[in-house]
Structure 1
Amino acid sequence: MEKSTLIGLCAGFISLGIGYVMKGADPSILLTPAAYLIIIGGTISCLFTGFTMEQMSVFPKLIKWEPHTRDFSRELGDQTSQYV
């Protein structure tokens, strides 16, 4: 996940909370299943309207997590020996 994505998500949730407080509503109302459905459903809908189906078909591959299998300490040693 890119840093800008995380910043955007946090800004969105903070904006919702501040908006509810400014309106005089209880912010805990955002912790209901209906609120999650509206937020997550709206986000998914925006993704589908903003990208083509070809681009969206790649999305599951982008969020798939795989553990690192590279040996960074060995690579660092190899790079260091090249410059020394």
Structure 2
Amino acid sequence: GFTAFVSWHGTMQQQVLRSLFPEDDVQDIRHSPIKSFAHIDFNSLDALNRALKKHGLPLQNYGVIGNLRVERGRPRGNNN
């Protein structure tokens, strides 16, 4: 799979999170409003690589303090 671990400071609505990544690139988002992170499954390696380039993106324009953290994640079901 092509999964990214995405995190930020504070809270972020799922629609804001979705707006950061092209809809055609995203297969699934697993996000809890209480937690400041999500696992995002992408449709391809190219889509994942585009997402990884957003690491460090300032989030002030989205009403969130700090910068976006994006790193390669483990695919769903892989707890090793």
Q: Which category of TM-score, normalised to the shorter sequence, fits these structures?
A: under 0.3
**Is the helix fraction higher in 1 or 2?**
1
Structure number, greater radius of gyration = 1
Length-normalised TM-score, structure 1: 0.26
Higher relative contact order (CA 8 A, sep 6+): 2
